Amino acid sequence: NAGVTQTPKFRILKIGQSMTLQCTQDMNHNYMYWYRQDPGMGLKLIYYSVGAGITDKGEVPNGYNVSRSTTEDFPLRLELAAPSQTSVYFCASSRTETNEKLFFGSGTQLSVL
């Protein structure tokens, strides 16, 4: 049972480059999320999706884009990477949005230099 699979684990980008963080889950969860975690701060929601074809902005969406073409996949696209996007990124999923716990991917450590 794989749960939430997130790739890559580490990546270094130059300023202005683009990349896609991949996230897939095999639990048939409707809800999927992208968070970033910076030192000394709580997790910040970037984007979320309540089902295939539906996405919405979270607290810090600028500089990112997402798509949700299938229930399983929820990739995060960084366009024109900036040093402020240096962070640890987590993908997560849940069955519903209410009292359901989140299942997290293993995270991506991204550095933009």
Partner 1 sequence: GQNIDQPTEMTATEGAIVQINCTYQTSGFNGLFWYQQHAGEAPTFLSYNVLDGLEEKGRFSSFLSRSKGYSYLLLKELQMKDSASYLCAVLDSNYQLIWGAGTKLIIKP
Which position among 2, 41, 62, 113 is part of the footprint of partner 1 (CB under 8 A)? Answer: 41
* Least distance from partner 1 to the Cβ atom of residue 80, Å: 27
Residues 45/76, Cβ–Cβ less than 8 Å: no
Candidates 11-19, 21-29, 38-46, 65-73 — which segment interacts with partner 1 by CB under 8 A? 38-46
Nearer to partner 1, 2 or 41 (CB): 41
Phi, psi of 17 (to 5 degrees): -75, 165
Instruction: Decide if residue 24 touches partner 1 (CB under 8 A).
Output: no
Instruction: Decide if residue 34 touches partner 1 (CB under 8 A).
Output: no
Instruction: Decide if residue 10 touches partner 1 (CB under 8 A).
Output: no
3-class SS at 110? strand
- Which residue reads 């550095």 in tokens? 111
Phi, psi of 5 (to 5 degrees): -110, 125
Please tell me the distance from the alpha carbon of residue 52 to that of residue 4, in angstroms, as a whole number.
16
- The residues of the shown chain that bind partner 1, judged by CB under 8 A, are 40-45, 58, 90, 97-99, 101-107
